[in-house]
Amino acid sequence: MDDVSVGTGLSFRDATGADVDRLVALIQSAYRGEASRAGWTTEADLLDGQRTDPEGVRAVINSPAGRMIIAERGGLIVACCQLEHRGDAAYFGMFAVDPGQQGGGLGRTVLEQAERIAVESWAVGTMQLTVITARDDLIGWYQRRGYRRTGELSPFPYGDERFGIPRRDDLQFELLIKSLS
């Protein structure tokens, strides 16, 4: 993808290997530790440890079925997301917005751009994502953007510290979907 600019001085591009360390730091800051509490997407009360690692980000960047989209403003990475082509659907994941810039519409802009890219790149009719079911605020945010709960649950990967160290024993994911056509 070539750099795509939208209003508000925001531009989008595909991530490269040179972006891995900055992306890991952004994703970690949006979800874990005290820094994440500056925004509303924190998982600090649910999970300790890492949210992702360089290998996980690199795998997304290098995947032939996917891509990592970066949003930049003033030369700084302010948000990112993963898109993966899955048949007639796209999967949206590894979504992170700088905690200091949350709450002002940046996340909505990134999500809308990701949906547009998925349709233009793969002609998919559906976007899928998973959310920890304990994240009622986040599920509500996606619902306000047209996503619906499916009731399809998958277990949290307990024991695999690459995804964090759970602070409770009832974590699971729910699949949310949105029609893009």
Instruction: Give the model's pLDDT for residue 120.
Output: 96
Give pLDDT, residue 25. Answer: 95
The whole-number pLDDT of residue 44 equals 85
Give the tokens for residue 100.
Answer: 């200091």
Under CATH, domain 4-179 is a member of which superfamily?
Gcn5-related N-acetyltransferase (GNAT) (3.40.630.30)
Tell me what pLDDT residue 32 has. 86
Q: Residue ranges of the chain with pLDDT lower than 50?
A: none
Q: Provide the pLDDT for residue 4.
A: 61
pLDDT value for 88: 96
Which pLDDT belongs to residue 38?
84
The pLDDT of residue 161 is 87
